[in-house]
Structure 1
Amino acid sequence: MTPRTLRDGQRCEVWTAPADGGEPELAFVTAQTLFEAPNWLADGRLLLNGDGRLWFLAPDGGGPEPLPATGLPPVNNDHVPAPDGTAAFCSADDGHIYRVPLTGGAAERVTHDDGARHFLHGVSPDGGRLGYVEIHDGDGRRRGRLAVLDLADGTVARPDVGDGHCDGPEFTPDGAWILLNTESFGGGAGHAQLARVPAHGHGSLERLHESGRVDWFPHISPDGRHGAYVSFPSGTLGHPADVPVHVVLVDSSDWAAERRRIEVFGGQGTMNVNSWAPDSSRFAYVGYPIGDGLRSGA
């Protein structure tokens, strides 16, 4: 899979926004490389992907620096740091998930050859389990299925989240729940909604918010108080690139309680993975405006 690139006249803008609903701030802009899906690391840097590699970016200035990794295939925008801050887990274009030291070094593959492609989105608070979406035979027309890998013994659990396609599984800070978006509430493709399921598989899928739009990638802050997600126009299939979307900030005790709705030209790459700061004060996202079109901090 060829890494995404910027179109003629397009730029990549990395923004951060405060949890209280205040004004977003532009952290970095480039017309050279298409960066995606920021994670906020414990040392204050952002971890993003671009050109098939992982990069560090300091929000307070300075250019991106590549993470030196050996044995790592080109990566996509599904990557999450380990809770202990020593490594990142990332999905690569060969369909597998890898562990990569954040200081650089050899990458280690952690998923099995099981006939599926593995799209990572969450690491449990204790660092022992990975939440990801598996799609068998690499066929994007097939529905994604929730899977949880136990890193200690290699076993895989598949909690029941219904028959609809799902994506974005992410553990809550207390480890009790997995948040995700799903089309299991009816309407089929183009009706993704936010939901949660017990992380240990004992319980049923619960809807977080009923929306007339297509909502993807629920992300919860480390203190559990705030949430953010990407909202596509009604009827959108999948999570495409280069469309007008909303980045929505909410109170996580009620995902319908909006604090801020930010207009962004983006979608794919904007906020695929958790991008909350360790102190829960801000989150990061990416926009891809073209020419004098919609800016990403409106």
Structure 2
Amino acid sequence: MLYGFTLHEATSMVNIQPNPFNKYGIFDHQINIGKPTISGTVAYDTGSQEYTLEGSGTNMWANTDEFQYLYKSIQGDFILRAHIRFVGEGVDPHRKIGWIIRNNLRGDSPHVNASVHGDGLTSLQFRRETGGETEEVTSTDVAPDVVQLERREGVYYMSTAKFGEPFTTVKIEDVNLRNEVFVGLYICSHNPEVVEKAVFSNVRIIKPAPKDLEPYRDYLGSNMEIMNVETGHRKILFNSAHSIQAPNWVNNDRELVFNSNGFLYRYDFATDEISQINSGFAVNNNNDHVFSFDESILGISNHNQEDGGTSSIYIMDPKGDSLPRKITKDGVGASYLHGISPDNKSMLFTGERKGKYDLYSVDIATGKEVQLTDTENLDDGSEYSPDGKYIYFNSNRTGNMQLWRMKPDGSDQAQLTFDTAYKDWFPHVSPDGKWIVFISFPPTIGFGEHPFYKQCTIRLMPASGGVPTIVGYIYGGQGSINVPSWSKDSKHIALVTNSD
């Protein structure tokens, strides 16, 4: 849902690019740094988008390094993230894998290195000058399988976690590498006569938003991804230089529908083709588009030019064969769609009424509205469970944005999440009714905000309540999963992530 923004000029071109990965995926080249006795290898699997590195090397310490390196050149600030694992028991407990940033490709180059050892030791290692001694900051994390290395305004942050848990972060502030550096994945066996092997998945090199980015005027590029919520494995389907947002998984898991620049588009898994949905006069659609459970109705939130550009709710034929029909009335305030009832009789929306935002239902046939919540702060993200027995939503009525549940008439409102370290938005119930997936923003964002371009997590919890588990570490936010995004098999979701 979008509040108080001016939509930039709509265009029918979404500038979709096919996956640009080459034989080294998102990287440029590979090399054996320091001339180890046994040369390493790199393999990239285009199907799984996983990287397998094999390498030797005496060590990565002291005044010089030997290791197998898969790298890319980059400038400015960036975020490097990957899931990592050794293959096999290994020989030396000090074998290492991780991310490394280097000034050059010599063995004695200054560097910053997020290092996970074979025995579980995790440290942020660095060499300040050419041929200098290697130093380190040791993390309290042991044997993580998610590793992130970030450069932000000259400060280096290593964040690590066992999959499903929050990051543990350490940093260094006084290592001065060049603006233009090499970044990449590495493996070192810590034994010149031994070759070790590791697999890297969910590998992302992210260029974050600049500090002067103006939200809703300036946009980063987008990746359309799918995720297995059991394993956390993600795959990029395509990317775009434009802002694409809010994917729905439709047509028996054969297509995705998403929005960009006011228009709606379909992505076909079989053909890898994008087609635009004809929405007639509705060319200022935001990211609140929802299909009915049987997919016979497509509901949209379009900025109605006859009502001063205020968001109004419409229904339309999902194929675009007829003009949209407006459901909410003019002059009553903004309306942002979030759900359609299983019987196709009513719609859920966040309504700007009485000077504040609450949850409402509207009868599709008559347009009659019913107020479901009444709080001083913000209720949003309402969605029916597949059996129609509950409505799930998010609310900051207790001082922090959390997930809630109520009955369809608004009664029995109950809080489901109680975290202070997260701000939880947009609960989506799996088609089998067992799970909720939602996006959790960092606690530093403003009260009631769900902005673009933040380091967020995708979390999963039982629909009845319980302890949430992290299933995705992403750079995104607004538009990542604003709408129902589950596959029919309740095993996958679609989401959007961002990078400049």
TM superposition score category, shorter chain reference: 0.7 to 0.9
Aligned to 1:97: 313
2:405 to 169, 172, 196: 196
Equivalent in 133, 139, 162 of residue 375 of structure 2:
162
For 2:333, give the aligned amino acid: A
Contact 1:169 1:181 in 2 (8 A): yes
Q: Assess if the C-alpha contact under 8 Å between 1:227 and 1:255 holds in 2.
A: no
1:243 to 442, 454, 476: 454
- Contact 1:37–1:77, Cα closer than 8 Å, also in 2: yes
> Residue type matched to 2:441 in 1?
F
For the residues of structure 2 that align with 1:79 and 1:92, how far apart are their CA atoms?
Answer: 9
**Equivalent residues in 2 for 1:274-289, closer than 5 Å:** 274-289=484-499
**Counterpart residue type for residue 361 of structure 2:** V
Unaligned runs of 5+ in 2: 1-5, 9-215, 305-310
Report the AA paired with residue 84 of structure 1: D
Q: Which residue number in structure 1 is paired with residue 264 of structure 2?
A: 54
Indicate whether 1:2 and 2:7 are aligned: yes
Deviation at residue 53 of structure 1 after TM alignment: 0.4
Deviations 1:2-37 (A, max 9, x none): 245764xx4211111123234112122122x21100
- Deviation of residue 173 (structure 1)? 0.9
Structure 1: where are the runs of 5+ without partners?
291-298
Q: Which amino acid aligns with 2:336?
A: F
On the 8 A contact 1:219/1:228 being kept in 2, the answer is: yes
Judging changes above 3 Å, is the alpha-carbon distance between structure 1 residues 199 and 247 closer, same or farther for their aligned structure 2 residues?
same
Q: 1:119 aligns with which of 322, 336, 346?
A: 336
Separation (CA, whole Å) in 1 of partners of 2:238 and 2:276: 16
Q: Once the two structures are superposed, what CA deviation does each residue of 1:196-225 show, in whole Å capped at 9, x if it has no partner?
A: 111123x23100111111111011111111
Asked if 2 retains the 8 angstrom alpha-carbon contact of 1:40 and 1:277, the reply is yes
Distance across 2 between alignment mates of 1:135 and 1:122:
16
CA distance in 2 between counterparts of 1:145 and 1:160 reads 6
Which of 141, 148, 152 is 2:365 aligned to? 152
1:78 CA drift (Å): 0.2
In structure 2, what is the Cα distance between the partners aligned to 1:15 and 1:143?
Answer: 34
Deviations for 1:112-161, whole angstroms, at most 9, x for unmatched residues? 12521100001111111100001148xxxx53111001113322111235
**Which residue of the partner structure matches residue 120 of structure 2?**
none
SS in 2 for 1:247: strand
The question of whether the paired residues in 2 share the 8 Å contact of 1:194 and 1:208 is answered with yes
In the superposition, the TM-score normalised over structure 1's length comes to 0.87
- Match of 1:293? none
Instruction: Tell which has more relative contact order, 1 or 2 (C-alpha 8 A, sep 6+).
Output: 1
Q: More deviation in 174-183 or 246-255?
A: 246-255
Paired position in structure 1 for 2:397: 184
Partner of 1:143: 356
State the structure with more CA Rg: 2
Q: Which residue, out of 409, 416, 424, partners 1:208?
A: 416
The question of whether the paired residues in 2 share the 8 Å contact of 1:70 and 1:106 is answered with yes
Q: What residue in structure 1 maps to residue 71 of structure 2?
A: none
3-state SS, counterpart of residue 77 of structure 1: coil
The ranges of structure 1 where at least 4 consecutive aligned residues each deviate by more than 6 angstroms after the TM superposition are none
1:58, distance to aligned residue in structure 2 (A): 2.3
Equivalent pairs: percent with the same residue? 27
1:66 to 259, 276, 285: 276
Q: CA RMSD in A?
A: 1.9
